[in-house]
A and B are shown apart, each in its own frame.
Chain A
Amino acid sequence: EVQLVESGGGLVKPGGSLRLSCAASGFTFSNAWMSWVRQAPGKGLEWVGRIKTKTNGGATDYAAPVKGRFTISRDDSKNTLYLQMNSLKTEDTAVYYCGLGDAFDIWGQGTMVTVSS
């Protein structure tokens, strides 16, 4: 069964950092482009960024609100995707989802990140 499981969410103060993980199973992770999306409480979906495969140079793209603060990486040996979030702001409060591919063929269950003092 194809599955994505996020972890690492929690409460963090403004200016702090957090790293989210997304464990993948049921497919060849190293061949997959992977994405992150977030959803603020009561709001719609917002694309965060995407990472290509190592064979495509592992290139990343980011949405403007997170560029320079967030970093997407991957460890193909562990079938795991990461989202390193630095300089967090209150407006980063959201449920963060990882997804398979640019079109989000498969979604994880999400992990909540709360940025508050």
Chain B
Amino acid sequence: DIQMTQSPSSLSASVGDRVTITCRASQGVRKYLAWFQQKPGKAPKSLIYDASSLHSGVPSKFSGSGSGTDFTLTISSLQPEDFATYYCQQYSSYPFTFGGGTKVEIK
């Protein structure tokens, strides 16, 4: 199975900060990497697919990059509604696997 490792597991940031979350795959997943945002008690929301394509309706402050084994999610200017847990997922080979999550908290 492909292991997905997210770093950091948590971070504290201020409104307006630029935030970068990293996701590393134990083997290459080509471009087949998605990012999700989850708030407490809610279902996850899809942000990015194919490593860098933004889902419709997702603000352009979110961006994704990378291919192969190393990927990043960047939030250009953190806003109060962005405090949440973020997950990456590879869908290159079965079983599909998720990263452990990155909790973004208010500093």
Interface residues of A (CB under 8 A from B): 35, 37, 44-47, 50, 61-64, 97, 102-110
Beyond A45-B87, A61-B95, whether A107 also contacts B45 by CB under 8 A is yes
**Which of B32, B46, B94, B95 lies in contact with A104, CB distance below 8 A?**
B46
Q: List 30 A-B contacts (CB under 8 A).
A: A44-B87, A44-B101, A45-B36, A45-B44, A45-B101, A47-B89, A47-B96, A47-B97, A47-B98, A50-B94, A50-B96, A61-B94, A61-B95, A63-B95, A64-B1, A97-B44, A102-B32, A103-B32, A103-B34, A103-B46, A103-B50, A103-B89, A104-B44, A105-B55, A106-B46, A107-B43, A107-B44, A107-B45, A107-B46, A108-B43
Contact A44 B91, beta carbon cutoff 8 Å: no
B residues 32-49 in Cβ contact with A at 8 Å: 32, 34, 36, 38, 43-46, 49
The answer to whether B28 has its CB under 8 Å from any CB of chain A is: no
The CA of A107 and the CA of B34, in the complex, are separated in Å by 13
Contacts of A46 in B (CB 8 A): 98
Contacts of A63 in B (CB 8 A): 95
**Which of A102, A105, A110 lies in contact with B96, CB distance below 8 A?**
A102
Beyond A97-B44, A104-B46, A107-B43, whether A64 also contacts B95 by CB under 8 A is yes
B residues 67-107 in Cβ contact with A at 8 Å: 87, 89, 91, 94-101
Contact A105 B95, beta carbon cutoff 8 Å: no
Contact size class for B? 20 to 34
Contacts of A62 in B (CB 8 A): 95
Contact B44 A103, beta carbon cutoff 8 Å: no
The CA of A51 and the CA of B34, in the complex, are separated in Å by 19
The CA of A47 and the CA of B4, in the complex, are separated in Å by 13
Q: How far does the Cβ of B56 sit from chain A's closest Cβ, in whole Å?
A: 9
Q: How far does the Cβ of A52 sit from chain B's closest Cβ, in whole Å?
A: 12
Contacts of A110 in B (CB 8 A): 43
The CA of A102 and the CA of B49, in the complex, are separated in Å by 10
